[in-house]
Amino acid sequence: MPAIFYLVTYKKNRDRKLRVIFFLIIINFLSDLYGLYTDTHNQKNYISYNLYILIETFSLYIFFYQIILSGAVKKTILLTIISFFIFWLYQFIRFGQQRFLDECITVENISLLAFCLYYYIEKIIKIDTAYIYTEKSFWIVTAYLIFISGTFFLLLYIPGLKGQEWQKYYVLNYVFVIIRTILLSIAMFMKNNDSPKQKFN
Amino acid sequence: MILLQSFGIPPTLLLGTIGMLFLAIALIIFIIFHQRKVIRYQLKMQQMEAEQQKILLRASIRLQEEERQRIAADLHDDAGPLLATARLYLTENMVNLDKATQLQSIFNAKQIIDEAIQLIRNISHSLMPPTLKNFGLESAVNDFFHKINGSGSLNVNCRFHDYKVRLKPDKELTVFRIIQELINNILKHSNSSFIHLTQHNGEDNMIIRLHHDGRGLNQEDFLKMSKSNVGLGLKNIQSRLKVIHGDILFEQDPSESFYKVTIDIPKDYNEK
């Protein structure tokens, strides 16, 4: 749905930040399709999901790199990208074909949570006359903040479960995926706030 | 919650999720409301500042108009009749008069013209004091204070500690006008018995401080009056200070025996 909205409003909203999210949504869609295919054919799809984790994390890190203004935090994001890649590679080589890389998801969620919080803090410190909710980036960050907060406990809980037991709790994940989709759709559909912003001292 | 529990989700997981979600939503709501509040406050401040600017602009226009009217009145009421009288003495008829009357007429006309010259000089001096132009702020203030002391009604003195490098001429004039306005206010409203002015040099600024023992203002009164429709003089002080990027502080001495006015004037590179 957000991808359709993006394509519909593409002429009006040619924003580089949105391209990253659009790319992520497409990859997510393809990954889900592939997951569905492997599930119906009783094949394991750990590699594709683990690769998706890497792409998702990188895309979101790049998105935050684009929307955050502070130079120091931008450098921290670059450092996090490198660190995360090394960590993911290490985990992938060891367990990439045997299971989901829960540790990577936890690291991803914690770091993204931190960037979301910093984004909000920056919006409070560096105030302009535009209200925060008139910006697309706010809705995208909110979508991921709510998704990450909502599924955080679930992801901590799952590794302790046996066999396919985790699947019955996955309804929670679907609820938050729907919420995230709605919020991303709002971000994609809303008018671009291009009005010149006046900075307060 | 009951619906989700019916899917067999354990309460710990459910509570944890709801807790996290609640925190996230609370954070987002807080950010939105806080930002709205700050933006509204900033806009209100900007509006007030713009209003203040308007008041200052109006005050300075009014001051300019009053100054023009005063000059016009001086020229029209004093210089005009003087020159007209001089003209009367110097009519063509004068050639028919006897020599003694002619000389008397020329003498009278000369006296009237001298008076007119003096009058125009006074007007010119009131626009730009020659002492200030030729000898600087210290001499101009000394001169001004000397005239006030001459009235004998109160004791006025000043002390410039370090004024070797003069401020730029237009800045000097602005500072002098501010001092004049403050002294006029003290003379009109404070009923004080002494006024003491001191000047000190900082690294990047010059400090001028006035002390007097009469009724005075504190900063709050000053700000209130300069924002209201009364206090044209105070508004002029403020608009002049704005031009030179200066600051002013009105305060009462802790001993409550006298009032202080401190003017902080930033210096340019070549004024240091």
Contacts of B24 (CB under 8 A, 6+ apart): A145, A146, A149, A150
pLDDT at A14: 67
Residue A196 confidence class, pLDDT cut points 50, 70, 90: very low
pLDDT at A201: 45
Pairwise CA distance, residues B162 & B202, whole Å:
10
How close, in Å, is residue A87 to chain B by CA atoms? 26
What value does the mean pLDDT take over residues A6-27?
Answer: 73
The reply to whether B96 and B184 lie within a common domain is: no
Q: Which domain holds residue B86?
A: 1-127
pLDDT at B235: 82
Domain final position from B85, B109, B127? B127
Contacts of B149 (CB under 8 A, 6+ apart): B155, B156, B157
Number of compact structural domains in chain B: 2
Q: Inform me whether the C-beta atom of residue B20 falls under 8 Å from chain A C-beta atoms.
A: yes
Secondary structure (3-state) at B265: strand
- Tens-place pLDDT, residues A92-115: 888 777 777 778 888 888 999 899
Query: Of all residues in chain A, what percent carry a pLDDT higher than 90?
Result: 3
How close, in Å, is residue B227 to chain A by CA atoms? 22
CATH code for the domain of B213? 3.30.565.10
Q: Inform me whether the C-beta atom of residue B21 falls under 8 Å from chain A C-beta atoms.
A: yes
Walk along chain B (272 residues) and give the pLDDT tens digit of each residue: 555 555 566 777 778 788 888 888 888 888 888 888 888 888 888 888 888 888 878 887 887 888 888 888 888 888 888 888 888 888 777 777 788 888 888 898 899 999 999 888 888 877 778 888 888 899 999 988 988 888 777 889 999 988 888 888 888 988 999 999 899 889 888 888 899 999 998 888 999 999 999 888 888 888 888 777 667 788 888 888 888 889 999 999 888 888 999 999 998 877 76
The reply to whether B147 and B261 lie within a common domain is: yes
The reply to whether B113 and B181 lie within a common domain is: no
pLDDT at B268: 84
The reply to whether B30 and B88 lie within a common domain is: yes
What value does the mean pLDDT take over residues A17-42?
Answer: 80
- Are A129 and B32 a contacting pair at CB < 8 A? no
Contacts of A185 (CB under 8 A, 6+ apart): A1, A2, A5
Domain final position from B110, B127, B144? B127
Secondary structure (3-state) at B98: coil
pLDDT at B249: 93
Q: Inform me whether the C-beta atom of residue A193 falls under 8 Å from chain B C-beta atoms.
A: no
With 50 as the cut, is the pLDDT of residue A132 above it? yes
Contacts of B190 (CB under 8 A, 6+ apart): B212, B214, B215, B216, B259
The reply to whether B135 and B116 lie within a common domain is: no
pLDDT at B123: 83
What ranges in chain B are assigned the alpha helix state H?
Answer: 2-5, 11-73, 80-89, 99-127, 130-135, 137-151, 169-185, 219-227, 232-243
Q: Cβ contacts (< 8 Å) between B1 and chain A: which residues?
A: none
pLDDT at A36: 78
The reply to whether B115 and B140 lie within a common domain is: no
- Are A127 and B38 a contacting pair at CB < 8 A? yes
Query: If you search the block for the tokens 């001092």, which residue do you land on?
Result: B179
Question: Which tokens in the block code for residue A71?
Answer: 């130079």
B contact test, residue of A122, A149, A174 with most B CBs within 10 A = A149
Pairwise CA distance, residues A166 & B124, whole Å:
95
Helices A136-157 and A170-189 pack at an angle, to 10 degrees, of: 170
Query: If you search the block for the tokens 């110097």, which residue do you land on?
Result: B90
Pairwise CA distance, residues B189 & B201, whole Å:
30
B78, exposed or middle or buried, with CB in 10 Å at 0-12, 13-18, 19+? middle
Pairwise CA distance, residues A140 & A112, whole Å:
12
Q: Inform me whether the C-beta atom of residue B13 falls under 8 Å from chain A C-beta atoms.
A: yes
Question: Which tokens in the block code for residue A154?
Answer: 């679930």
In order, the DSSP letters of B177-239 are HHHHHHHHHIIIII--SEEEEEEEE-SSEEEEEEEESSS---HHHHHHHHHSSS-HHHHHHHH
The reply to whether B141 and B41 lie within a common domain is: no
pLDDT at A194: 47
The reply to whether B81 and B210 lie within a common domain is: no
The reply to whether B252 and B197 lie within a common domain is: yes
Domain final position from B127, B142, B161? B127
How close, in Å, is residue B184 to chain A by CA atoms? 37
pLDDT at B199: 93
The reply to whether B86 and B173 lie within a common domain is: no
The reply to whether B120 and B224 lie within a common domain is: no
How close, in Å, is residue A154 to chain B by CA atoms? 7
pLDDT at A162: 63
- Are B28 and A131 a contacting pair at CB < 8 A? no
In this complex, the residue of A142, A151, A172 whose CB is nearest that of residue B28 is: A142
Q: Cβ contacts (< 8 Å) between A169 and chain B: which residues?
A: 7-9, 13
pLDDT at A43: 74
Query: What DSSP designation does B93 have?
Result: G
The reply to whether B139 and B79 lie within a common domain is: no
Question: Which tokens in the block code for residue A139?
Answer: 């809705």
Contact between A61 and A80 (Cβ < 8 Å): yes
Q: Inform me whether the C-beta atom of residue B50 falls under 8 Å from chain A C-beta atoms.
A: no
Nearest residue in B to A121, CA atom? B31
For residues A39 and B55, which has the higher predicted lDDT (pLDDT)? B55
Pairwise CA distance, residues B139 & B177, whole Å:
14
Q: Inform me whether the C-beta atom of residue B23 falls under 8 Å from chain A C-beta atoms.
A: yes
- Are A120 and B31 a contacting pair at CB < 8 A? yes
Q: List phi, psi (to 5°) of B3.
A: -60, -45
pLDDT at B8: 63
